[in-house]
Amino acid sequence: MDNAAPRPEIDTTRTGATDTPALDSLAERFRATRQLSLDLAAPLSDADATIQSMEDASPAKWHLAHTTWFFETFLLRDRLDGYRLFDEKFPYLFNSYYEAEGERIARFSRGMLSRPTLDEIIAFRRAVDDAMEPLLIREDCAALIALGIAHEQQHQELLLTDIKHALFQNPLGPAMFDGDLPPSERGADEWIEHPGGITRIGHDFGADGTDPARDFAFDCEGPRHRHLLEPFAMSRRLVTNREWEAFVADGGYRDASLWLSDGWAWVQENAISAPMYWEGDTQFTLSGARRRDPDAPVTHISYYEADAFAQWAGARLPTEAEWEALAASEDPHAGQQLDAAGAVHPVARDGLFGSCWQWTRSAYLPYPRFQPVEGAVGEYNGKFMSGQFVLKGGSCATVRGHMRASYRNFFYPHMRWQFTGLRLAKDI
């Protein structure tokens, strides 16, 4: 993308799977997704896969079981005549937050599940995968299978970030993956300008001829609607570790004038003085502690930190509509994203997608005319539209093919165990 101003009216609809060349059929995408989860967990022992380091995170084997419970519950149980649950106790253990599906183990107790073992959960996965085969070619199941695939891809990223947090608690600093981390190249200090005007954002679920199994988006990404933008510019590159080190050296974590009131209270109460995983000039990664790359994107920062840095830099965070308007002309499958199990760490890449999630200043709220889907799956996103902020763009741990411009990730402002960073914006 060059610095030429886009037209005021921009089409920002991008699809998730239709542009991906490798996997043509829903069955192939299902099998590949299920295998990738096992590949990601392969380096873990049963003990590694059992631990839960905080309530916001879940054990790796819980992720493996919960994504399997999703397919068993909403497809096999409800759509396959004569199917019997693999284990009648598993729904209580592996339901996450679906009230319509009954009681479940408390979230903070997931790390107490020493049983079933990792091997037993893998056997559960294989049994469900085998049972799913006749449903993979049924048109009446396609949209729900596509949702299950996207759901598991989200949990693949969570598996990586949750186990990273857990391994960081170990004084030995164990590595999950071996291998060198590629260096970053310093990006150009350029701004992409937009003249403002009426733009359309969000996913168009009612488009003629769309296939919900391939043209997939989560319910919270729509309906597509108009949005008025004032003229603005957004940085071509992500904020780097080098720039964040300057913020720290300049007393950024000690200057209350830079911080939102809640953010300053969070800094004081938790003695925050650097991004998560920073220790001296090193940074903990899934490959263990490594010397910090100054030109890599800064990651594992909260919304509060991102906003304070933007204030310090004389800029601001973009809104989700601004970010989406500029991302409309970019390939959502470009950039650094997850292709296979292996070393995962953000590096600088050209484009708006990949490397790290980017905080926006937009609250996670329903779009005009939003309605959650009926049934238990309607609890998937809509119930969380309170007190959270939108992030855009995906990360180094986001499966390639999962991302699109309309995608809305969301977290509470204090959270930072995900690969969260920022890209600056300004008014013009």
Q: Is residue 215 part of a domain?
A: yes
- Pair (157, 104) in one structural domain: yes
pLDDT block averages, 10 residues each, the chain of length 428:
30 32 76 98 97 97 98 96 97 91 94 97 98 96 95 98 97 90 79 97 76 80 96 97 98 98 98 98 96 96 98 98 96 95 91 97 95 69 86 98 97 98 98
- Pair (237, 164) in one structural domain: no
Q: Is residue 185 part of a domain?
A: no
Q: Are 330 and 371 in contact (CB under 8 A)?
A: no
- Pair (386, 253) in one structural domain: yes
Q: Is residue 21 part of a domain?
A: no
Q: Which residues contact 188 (CB under 8 A, 6 or more apart)?
A: 236, 237
pLDDT value of position 192:
96
Residue type, 109: S
- Pair (227, 258) in one structural domain: yes
Q: Is residue 182 part of a domain?
A: no
- Pair (227, 371) in one structural domain: yes
pLDDT value of position 18:
34
Eight-state DSSP code of residue 56? T
Q: Are 188 and 213 in contact (CB under 8 A)?
A: no
Q: CA-CA distance, 102 to 350, in Å (whole number)?
A: 46
Q: Is residue 183 part of a domain?
A: no
Q: CA-CA distance, 213 to 48, in Å (whole number)?
A: 35
Count of domains forming the chain: 2
Domain ranges, residue 386: 191-427
Q: Is residue 256 part of a domain?
A: yes
pLDDT value of position 24:
61
- Pair (275, 421) in one structural domain: yes
- Pair (245, 199) in one structural domain: yes
pTM above 0.85, yes or no: yes
pLDDT value of position 210:
59
Q: Are 42 and 163 in contact (CB under 8 A)?
A: no
- Pair (162, 289) in one structural domain: no
- Pair (332, 414) in one structural domain: yes
User: Where residue 407 sits, what CATH number does that domain have?
Assistant: 3.90.1580.10
pLDDT value of position 385:
87
Q: Is residue 304 part of a domain?
A: yes
Q: DSSP string covering 319-369, please?
A: PHHHHHHHHTTS-TT-SS-B-SSS-------SSSSSSSEEEEEEE--PPTT
- Pair (404, 365) in one structural domain: yes
- Pair (251, 381) in one structural domain: yes
Q: Is residue 178 part of a domain?
A: no
- Pair (291, 151) in one structural domain: no
